[in-house]
Amino acid sequence: MTGTVVPTATSPGVVTGRPRAWLQAEGIALAAAGLIAHGSTGAPWWLVPALFLVPDLAMLGYLAGDRVGAWTYNLSHTAPLAVVLLAAGLGWDVAALTVAGAVGLVHVGLDRALGYGVKYDDGFGHTHLGMKGPAGPDRP
């Protein structure tokens, strides 16, 4: 297709090299912090794997298009929402919110550590850490 840019690891906006390694280390730290926060709640540990994929439900936003999908996905796959849930849970002493925030941090952290990045608006696979998943001919 004329004019279609297929992002690669060297595309503008894709983090590579030492900064990428730092982002992956940051992801491990976020996941560890989430596990520590979860441990402070006294909630059962089976909740971590049971709730781990809940943030991925945000992919349903892609049914409304790439822009909406990227927004909903990024909302649930970056730290701010998880931190707000965690802080609200701790502040109001609501274990369910604390657990939700903690598991959210674990999910975000492991995603970053594994190289899953924040989505761009032009397709599910285009992230700030490079391409993930199959790139079809109609989308990068």
pLDDT value of residue 10? 57
pLDDT, tens digit only, all 140 positions of the chain? 444 445 555 566 788 899 999 999 999 999 999 999 999 999 999 999 999 999 999 999 999 999 999 999 999 999 999 999 999 999 999 999 999 999 999 999 999 999 999 999 988 888 988 887 655 333 34
pLDDT value of residue 83? 98
pLDDT value of residue 8? 57
pLDDT value of residue 124? 87
- How many CB atoms are located within 10 Å of the residue 17 CB? 8
DSSP string, 57-69: GGGGGGGG-HHHH
pLDDT value of residue 136? 37
Question: Phi and psi (nearest 5°) for 70?
Answer: -60, -40
Put simply, whether the predicted model's pTM sits higher than 0.95 gets the answer no
pLDDT value of residue 132? 76
pLDDT value of residue 139? 38
pLDDT value of residue 2? 41
